[in-house]
Structure 1
Amino acid sequence: MARRIHRSALSALAVLLTLTAVPTATATTPARSAPPPPRTVSAWLPYWNQEAAYRDALEHAAQIRTISPFWYETKSATRVDGHPGAGERRIVDGLHARGIQVVPTVMEQMKPGALGAVMTSPARRAEHVDALLAVVRSRAYDGLDLDYETIAPTPDAKYPAVRDGYAAFVTDLCARLHALDKQCFVTVTPKTRTTGRVWDYRKLGAVADRLRIMAYNMHHAEGAPGPISTPQWYDEILARATAEVPRVKLEMGLPAYGWDWAVGDKARAKHVTSQDAEALRRKVKAPYALDPDSRTPHFTYKDGKTRRTVWYQDARGTATHLPALRKYGVPHTVLWALGFEDPALWRTLATG
């Protein structure tokens, strides 16, 4: 009986709520304009540093909307293998418990021409869609992220067919994923005046839930030393991307790593995380400096008789690149990769 409320008491309560309710917007009380969409952060989780990256994700869960564990590799049209630790339910469940989507990445390192042959064959494309659907059904995943890069340097004579075949493949895959109420992400290299011609941004952006642009490796391990990215390069990338893809679907890939080159040597550069690069800079007592053009940190040091140079990205450098994203109205980012980053980067992404 103590929990029952008399009908007259309810009526009195209703009158009180009416008298004290906050007034709604009227002609004399203009409604506030909607705030701009918040910046969101997604990130790839590397399987080779899985436990540390998972802890990193949980620590910054309030800022993260999607984690893409780097868990699967396509070997052929019908074969998709898991990397060590792929599909670990403790991680999937732990991320879901913090409100984070889990959309694993499927990558590939097929021989030149092999992936293109799959993409230009309707029958083999269909087989591959089925193989990928088996992956997404294997766990409580929220979708799939495709990171297929070996088709990027397709020769002139073949790239139009590979471009169209890949767009058709993504269209079919996304439709099948959406029928399962799953997300469809596509990761691509930057499309500029001289790069990225194999990606049909317009068609991919029309069917995918997100198009992730790997806006890094402007200078890479097999090339000459230089910055990983620049604001000017971001401007060129985003000018083209936003002309072809809805801004809400774009995620700009941000680097949390760098390369350590031997000066004058054509050997492959060493990969360094942002944390490793900064620790090395302190160890060799090199001064901290942002390159005035690229606005990225770099330093040189001696390793025995070898002179080496390191270019990487950190929170201060990223802060100087974010205005390009604001200029083009792109609020969404994706980080390569969890566990690599300057710890201050999270504050930069929250306030930048």
Structure 2
Amino acid sequence: MMNVSSNGSEESSQVRLISERFVRPTHELSRASTHPYYLGPIDLLTLSLDHMQKGLLFQSKPQLVSSFLDTLGRSLSLCLLHFYPLAGRLETQKFPDEHACWVYVDSSKGPGARILHASVELTVSDILSPIDIHPIVRSLFDLGEKAVNHDGHTRPLVSVQVTQLLDGMFIGFTMNHSIADGTSLWHFVSTLSEIFLQLQSGKNEASISVSKRPVFGPFFPPGHGPILKLPYLEPEEFVCRFDPGPLRERIFHFSAASMAKLKAQAQANTGCKSHNISSFQALCAFLWRSMIKARDVEPDEETTCTIAINIRPRINPPLPDAHFGNLIAATQTSCKVGDLFGPKFSLGCQ
């Protein structure tokens, strides 16, 4: 049994690893899975970034944890039939004469999805009550192991950690960001849940169905792909590992009333009744101004706000939400700090 420690300011907690196993698809995959799964330009840009992590916190836990884990494993194995690239691993083909390499996913190799079963001597209240995010939370995803997406050459592309609390349960999902974005991650989690509920109700595996199957096909600019060579030969030439050190992390919740107030304030200062400010625009402007104010940036310096957006419905022709992969783009707006804090609060919204 392995212990993973996480030290907070006043206490030390330990996540105890109870078991670990890997799950592959229930049966032989489709013919398409034997071909390389190509990575697009956006995928390749994320190779030095961290994995995506999303978690679900439950205020109760199953009476028979072993039965729950068994059903979860069977569900994951069935889910991988639909999300087959996640069962594979990253591979690199080198071209020494060109001093280049090609990174792709080999769906027929790799250990499959990782399932971790762990426990920690904390309650749901212990996790939720601190003002800052409890330091143990990092260890509820892949035991807190640090990795970048390029590590998908040796690490699973998706993992699920089930951590028993004293009075609840936390399920942490970790997915390699070089193969999918947040929309695809939640699609995977929703499909896994859909399959789990059917198995739990007594359906046999042959009769399991899913409501929204993933659609595959990496997005390439016209005239490019499917093989995109990087102008590097060794990972050390382009893979960076950034360690910011210990950070305070906090989740902010904006009530419906505070959102309505922010939106009304921004709308009142637009100077144009025909221009409607959305709640999202008002919130982004408020966060932007707050961050710059906290950093005490000089008024004549330029500041930029960058937001990642889902481009599936925005490209021509549009792609469905079920399209698997990294279908994101960065949208930016810039201005002088002095202008951002001028009399028109709505400038940041626009």
Q: Same fold (TM over 0.5)?
A: no
- Of structures 1 and 2, the larger Rg is shown by 1
* Bigger share in helix: 1
Relative to the length of structure 2, the TM-score reads 0.21
Structure scoring higher RCO (CA < 8 A, sep ≥ 6) equals 2
